[in-house]
């Protein structure tokens, strides 16, 4: 099968798409990847979106030489033009837009997801949504919507040796993009009020502001070169985001045997035997963390890894994606 993938290679989407290309090629399929890099898109909003010229026409021309066009939304400005450019190859759309339930970031994500599903309903034969909330939205506009979780290499992300982060255990951690929608300021306020040890890894527009909030129990590391080592250095992972789809960092932490606390926008991904759901304010986050620290973190971490191994291994995920390709080609 000749597959053309169009995506924005930033953050968790970039990781997912890069791994997907590798797994498809491992199965013997030919894959061409086009992104904001090849289209020379101009960065907008700290890399949240890209503007380019002539990208839609280029994608349409390339798609004629492929069996399937797999679009990972939201990518570049070309995405707005594709539905009116006469794409000849069957199209599969994966919607990665983060959604929430009340905050402005979550509401904007919901509106974008509605728009993508409506705008592409005429050309996309199959829609894929990694997260449940996005799937419910897309299903209002299209009849073939499949929930396929983001894949993970569980042979890489696994329990192992960590390192001393300079804080006494138990250590609560976050790693990912340091952006406003991740709600990290509330997480830091929770650590200040409830006194738990917190370490934050990652880069983004909030980096310097978070660094200025460091205290003896709060450390901000910046870019983390070895994420597996980071996860194995903490005892509990917290994701307090206002909006998410299917956050890869949550699955990565779980695969490394780390239990989790996550905000209610991804409540579907958290089960009581390995995690806890919190709200978006500092008190709700703090109370959830303190409840978790009273439980058997090691045992919960083992259960968390079992869930990832059963549901997110790439051999399982690729089989589902290939089935979506074949069904789209048959229509």
| DSSP labels, 239-255 | E--S-BSS-HHHHHHHH
Q: Give the count of beta carbons closer than 10 Å to the beta carbon of residue 225.
A: 9
Exposure on the CB side of residue 153, measured as CA atoms within 13 A: 12
Q: Whole-model pTM? A: 0.93
Q: Do 122 and 177 have their domain in common?
A: no
pLDDT at site 44 = 80
pLDDT at site 46 = 63
Mean pLDDT value of segment 152-172? 96
**262-274 core/surface letters (b: 16 or more CB in 10 A; e: else):** bbebbeebbeeeb
Chain mean pLDDT for the chain? 95
Residue 158 lies in a domain: no
Q: Do 142 and 11 have their domain in common?
A: yes
Q: Do 26 and 128 have their domain in common?
A: yes
Exposed, middle or buried: residue 46 (CB in 10 Å: 0-12, 13-18, 19+)? exposed
Three-state SS letters, 151-206: CECCCCCCCCCCCCCCCCCCEEEEECCCCHHHCHHHHHHHHHHHCCEEEEECCCCC
The set of residues, in sequence order, having a beta carbon less than 8 Å from that of 151 and lying 6+ positions away, is 16, 19, 20, 23, 312, 313, 314, 316, 317, 318
Cα-trace Rg, the chain: 20
Residue 102 lies in a domain: yes
Residue 242 lies in a domain: yes
The set of residues, in sequence order, having a beta carbon less than 8 Å from that of 59 and lying 6+ positions away, is 4, 6, 34, 69, 78, 82, 85, 87
Q: Do 280 and 243 have their domain in common?
A: yes
Q: Do 76 and 186 have their domain in common?
A: no
Q: Do 34 and 132 have their domain in common?
A: yes
Q: Do 258 and 203 have their domain in common?
A: yes
Q: Give the count of beta carbons closer than 10 Å to the beta carbon of residue 171.
A: 20
Q: Do 55 and 12 have their domain in common?
A: yes
Q: Do 44 and 21 have their domain in common?
A: yes
Q: Beta strands 275-278 and 260-263: pairing type?
A: parallel
Number of structural domains, the chain? 2
Confidence of residue 244 (pLDDT cuts 50, 70, 90): very high
Q: Give the count of beta carbons closer than 10 Å to the beta carbon of residue 192.
A: 16
Residue 165 lies in a domain: no
pLDDT at site 298 = 96
Mean pLDDT value of segment 61-80? 93
* H or E stretch covering 7: strand 2-7
Domain enclosing residue 98, as ranges: 2-151+313-330
Per-residue CA distances from 97 to 79, 110, 159, 234 (Å): 13, 8, 30, 28
Residue 131 lies in a domain: yes
pLDDT at site 47 = 65
- The terminus-to-terminus CA distance of the chain in angstroms comes to 16
Judged by average pLDDT, the poorest of 2-11, 40-49, 81-90, 315-324 is: 40-49
pLDDT at site 160 = 96
Residue 291, pLDDT above cutoff 80? yes
Mean pLDDT value of segment 59-67? 96
Q: Do 321 and 295 have their domain in common?
A: no
Q: pLDDT digits over 123-160, tens only?
A: 999 999 999 999 999 999 999 999 999 999 999 999 99
The tokens describing 304, both together, are 């968390």
Confidence of residue 100 (pLDDT cuts 50, 70, 90): very high
* 3-class DSSP assignment, residue 30: strand
Answer whether 149's CB lies under 8 Å from 312's CB.
yes
Q: Do 185 and 302 have their domain in common?
A: yes
Mean pLDDT value of segment 8-30? 94
pLDDT at site 12 = 87
Residue 64 lies in a domain: yes
Residue 75, pLDDT above cutoff 90? no
Residue 324 lies in a domain: yes
Confidence of residue 183 (pLDDT cuts 50, 70, 90): very high
- 12 vs 264, which has greater pLDDT? 264
pLDDT at site 26 = 96
Q: Beta strands 171-175 and 275-278: pairing type?
A: unpaired
Q: Give the count of beta carbons closer than 10 Å to the beta carbon of residue 81.
A: 15
Mean pLDDT value of segment 222-241? 97
CATH number of 42's domain? 3.40.50.2000
Q: Do 250 and 297 have their domain in common?
A: yes
Residue 162 lies in a domain: no
């Amino acid at each position: 099968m000749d597959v053309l993938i169009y995506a924005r290679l930033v953050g968790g989407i970039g990781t997912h798409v890069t791994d997907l290309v590798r797994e498809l090629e491992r199965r013997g399929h030919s894959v061409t990847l086009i992104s904001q890099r090849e289209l020379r898109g101009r960065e907008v909003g700290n890399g949240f979106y890209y503007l380019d010229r002539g990208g839609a026409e280029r994608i349409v021309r390339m798609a004629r030489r492929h069996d399937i066009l797999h679009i990972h939304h939201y990518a570049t400005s070309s995405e707005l033009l594709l539905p009116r450019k006469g794409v000849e190859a069957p199209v599969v759309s994966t919607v990665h837009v983060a959604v929430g339930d009340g905050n402005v970031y979550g509401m904007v994500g919901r509106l974008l997801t509605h728009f993508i599903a409506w705008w592409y309903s005429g050309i996309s034969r199959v829609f894929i949504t990694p997260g449940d909330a996005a799937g419910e939205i897309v299903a209002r506009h299209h009849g073939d919507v499949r929930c396929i979780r983001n894949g993970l290499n569980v042979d890489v992300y696994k329990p192992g040796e960590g390192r001393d982060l300079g804080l006494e255990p138990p250590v609560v951690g976050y790693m990912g993009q340091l952006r406003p929608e991740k709600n990290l300021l509330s997480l830091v306020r929770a650590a200040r009020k409830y006194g738990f040890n917190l370490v934050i890894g990652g880069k983004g527009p909030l980096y310097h502001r978070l660094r200025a909030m460091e205290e003896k129990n709060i450390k901000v590391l910046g870019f983390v070169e070895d994420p597996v080592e980071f996860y194995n250095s903490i005892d509990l992972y917290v994701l307090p985001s206002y909006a998410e789809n299917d956050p890869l960092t949550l699955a990565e932490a779980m695969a490394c045997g780390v239990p989790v606390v996550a905000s209610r926008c991804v409540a579907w991904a958290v089960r009581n035997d390995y995690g806890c759901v919190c709200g978006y304010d500092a008190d709700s986050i703090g109370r959830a963390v303190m409840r978790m620290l009273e439980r058997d973190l090691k045992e919960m971490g083992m259960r968390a890894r079992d869930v990832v191994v059963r549901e997110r291994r790439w051999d399982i995920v690729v089989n589902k994606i290939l089935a979506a390709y074949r069904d789209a080609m048959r229509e």
